[in-house]
Chain A
């Protein structure tokens, strides 16, 4: 058991950014573990993707290609991964922490009796043992788990935790493995893009509103236009999602989405601990609230004390003018 195996995710026929990040970090971790950096590509037809992954520095790119793997199923993709783990014998397996990869990674770790760390933000190897850092309790606790050597580890990594692989002509090879006979207990009938999808977790700028906006009409009058002026997406606190102003899809916080954008604008959001849990790792936070004692100001890089109903129209107009939107 040595080295690292990266599960490659694909977006429209290309390697996902998070997978390039895992290949970047994987190189360093594989060297520390004294083994190769290998990768795994699973799908309906993955030949094109495999050559992209060789260029990211994989010693061996394992492919498991089968018509039944074109759409993700737990049974199919876990079976493909288990066959690869048997061939590659990695000490550490890396995948992203997306919902699909949590479904996959936890099932794989259970089957392999491996160690599991979910939503990992950092990884290191010391004396042959893997350590994984992961936040819990809404980001209020930062845990470091150290896994005993000799048992494989599955780590599901939060995106943007590591720099992408530089890409090098490494002379790696592609090895195709057959999909073992597998009972598929699920059947995917349909995959549809979310209507009016807001992928808050991918947005570089997010403007969130809270109860300070007084009512639903004000939320829609003030928040989406400001988000549009900034070229961002719009979010909401739990209070106003539960009040039915805004769909759950937009909720940021402990029971909604965890986001980490370049700029997070909290407008009329008091900053309850449940909300802070979902956005406190944002690179820059702007808080606008009429209560100078609101907890949101304690995490803000820039705080503006004022009534959102007065401030937001001015801010939207100012941004439109200065940014030429």
Chain B
């Protein structure tokens, strides 16, 4: 069985700045594996261990991302693959999904793809469904528990954790599964394993290798601004906690907030 986990590198927090050309500036913020993707990696590892096959961690990005891909290798991924091309930088999520789909098709023998439910920077959650459609595969999104992966019967059964309901759904393999945070506890790679993978260079596939061209973003960014500041607040003063509490409740009632 061959499992692919899609992984994105993101800034640890979102205290980003906006450049004059409207690109995002995350300089000086530590880069990490997108949190939801860490859960996807762990889920992929667990099922790969059960079915003893191959797990490829796949990323579309720059050389800067290799360090985080090595972290996934140290966690236990058996293979890595970096999709890198100057033309990829301007793509939107739907176009990026087409590139990744081309790579997965080229790998040829993939049964199951795990993704995080969304990246913590762009936050759209569109990648996994777009990838599934580009591949022509089944999709299971917002998965909080994978109940069974059956490569022989070509089936995966999982719980989708939506806002108010839990759906139990069986999908045919191959399939794309996106996972939420609650699904597992990602392992920490040991120092020994981190050392072991420190020099691995993932193979690189370019747009030409994948035979993709003519892709573009559907929209242009016409404005990008920080959020409007919140109106300045009021500190509730008083001689003691009880007086402050009374004053706070007065304010909430006066302003018809409660």
Q: Are A188 and B227 neighbours in the complex by a CB distance under 8 Å?
A: no
| Contact between A286 and B129, CB atoms less than 8 A apart | no
Q: Is the CB of B227 within 8 A of A139?
A: yes
Say yes or no: A136 contacts B248, CB within 8 Å: no
Question: How far is the CB of B159 from the nearest CB of chain A, in Å?
Answer: 9
CB-based contact B225/A142 at 8 Å: yes
The answer, yes or no, to whether B200 is at the interface (CB within 8 Å) is no
Chain B residues within 8 Å of A168, by CB: none
Kindly state whether residue A125 has any CB partner on chain B within 8 Å: no
Q: Which residues of chain A have C-beta atoms less than 8 A from B35's C-beta?
A: 255
Q: Is the CB of A107 within 8 A of B227?
A: no
B94 touches A116 (CB 8 A): yes
Residues of A within 8 A of B (CB): 74-75, 98-100, 102-107, 109-111, 113-119, 131-132, 135-148, 151, 153, 185-194, 197, 199, 201-202, 205, 230, 248-249, 251, 254-256, 262-263, 272-274, 277, 280-281, 284-287, 292, 297-307, 310-311, 314-315, 318-319, 322-323
Q: Give the distance in Å from the alpha carbon of A113 to the alpha carbon of B94 in the complex.
A: 8
Q: How many Å lie between the Cα of A255 and that of B128 in the bound state?
A: 17
**Contact (Cβ within 8 A) B235 A142:** no
CA–CA, A102 and B236, complex, Å? 42
Q: Cβ of B51 < 8 Å from any Cβ of A?
A: no
Select the residue from A99, A104, A303 with max chain B CB neighbours within 10 A: A99
> Which residues, 1 to 38 on B, are CB-close (under 8 Å) to A?
13-16, 18, 24, 35-36
A99 to B129, CA, bound (A): 11
Chain B residues within 8 Å of A186, by CB = 138-140, 169-172
Which residues on B sit within 8 Å (CB–CB) of A132? 219
Q: B221 to A143, Cβ gap below 8 A?
A: yes
Once A186-B138, A188-B168, A305-B235 are accepted as A-B contacts, the answer to whether A110 and B94 lie under 8 Å apart by CB is yes
Q: Is B164's beta carbon under 8 Å from chain A? A: yes
Question: Do A109 and B157 have beta carbons less than 8 Å apart?
Answer: no
Q: In the complex the two chains form, is B233's CB within 8 Å of A301's CB? A: yes
Q: Are B167 and A98 in contact (CB under 8 A)?
A: no
| Chain A residue at smallest Cβ distance from B251 | A302
Question: With an 8 A cutoff between CB atoms, is B182 at the interface?
Answer: yes
- Separation in Å of the B252 CB from the closest CB of chain A? 7
Q: Is the interface of B mostly helix, strand, loop or mixed?
A: mixed
Tell which of B69-77, B82-90, B238-246 binds the partner: B238-246
Chain B proximity of A87: nearest CB distance (Å): 21
Contact A318 B227, beta carbon cutoff 8 Å: no
A74 in contact with B129 (CB, 8 Å): yes
Docked-complex contact B169 and A187, CB < 8 angstroms? yes
Within the complex, the shortest CB–CB distance from B244 to chain A, in Å, comes to: 5
User: Are B221 and A140 in touch, CB under 8 angstroms?
Assistant: no
Of B41-49, B60-68, B118-126, B202-210, the one contacting chain A is B118-126
Q: B165 and A107: CB pair below 8 A?
A: no
CB-nearest residue of chain B relative to A262? B257
B134 within 8 A of partner (CB): yes
> Which residues of chain B from 207 to 224 have any CB-CB distance to chain A below 8 Å in the complex?
218-224
Given known contacts A106-B127, A193-B165, A255-B35, what 18 new A-B pairs fall within 8 Å (CB)? Answer: A74-B138, A116-B94, A116-B124, A136-B122, A136-B124, A140-B16, A142-B224, A145-B219, A146-B219, A146-B222, A186-B170, A192-B166, A194-B164, A194-B165, A248-B182, A251-B181, A263-B252, A299-B233
A190 x B167 contact (CB < 8 A): yes
Answer yes or no: B226 CB below 8 A from chain A CBs. Answer: yes
Interchain CB contact under 8 A, A188 and B169: yes
Pairwise interchain contact A314-B241, C-beta atoms closer than 8 A: yes
B134 contact set on A, CB distance < 8 A: 110
- Min Cβ gap B177→A in Å is 11
Bound form: Cα–Cα A188–B24 in Å = 40
Cβ of A106 and Cβ of B170 under 8 Å apart? no
- Give min CB distance, B248 to chain A, whole Å: 6
A212 to chain B, nearest CB (A): 14
> Which among A116, A117, A185, A202 is the interface contact of B171 at CB below 8 angstroms?
A185
Q: How far in angstroms is the closest Cβ of chain A from B17?
A: 9
Q: Does B164 contact A193, Cβ atoms closer than 8 Å?
A: yes
Q: How far is the CB of A278 from chain B (nearest CB, A)?
A: 11
Contact A306 B246 (CB under 8 A): no
- In the bound complex, residues from chain B placing their C-beta under 8 Å from that of A138 are 13-14, 120, 123
* Cβ–Cβ < 8 Å partners of B130 in chain A: 106-107, 109-110, 116
Q: Give which listed residue, B170, B234, B249, contacts A319 with CB less than 8 A.
A: B249
CA of A251 to CA of B139 in the docked complex: distance in angstroms? 26
Contact B258 A106 (CB under 8 A): no
Q: Which of B14, B133, B219, B227 contacts A110 (CB 8 A)?
A: B133
| Minimal Cβ-Cβ distance residue in A for B130 | A110
Interface presence of B253 (CB below 8 A)? yes
| Complex interface: chain A residues within 8 A of B140 (CB) | 186
- In chain B, positions 105-148 with a C-beta closer than 8 Å to chain A are 120-130, 132-134, 137-142
Q: Which residues of B contact A110 (CB under 8 A)?
A: 94, 97, 129-130, 133-134
What CA separation (Å) do A190 and B244 show in the bound complex? 50
A306 and B123: CB pair below 8 A?
Answer: no
Judge whether B230 is part of the interface by a CB distance below 8 angstroms: yes
- CB <8 Å contact, A102 and B125: yes
Measured between beta carbons, the chain B residues less than 8 angstroms from A248 are: 180-182
Chain B nearest CB from A284 CB (Å) reads 5
Would you list the 5 A-B pairs with minimal beta carbon distance, nearest first? A115-B218, A185-B138, A106-B126, A106-B129, A145-B219
Chain B CB within 10 Å, residue with most, of A137, A140, A273, A305: A137
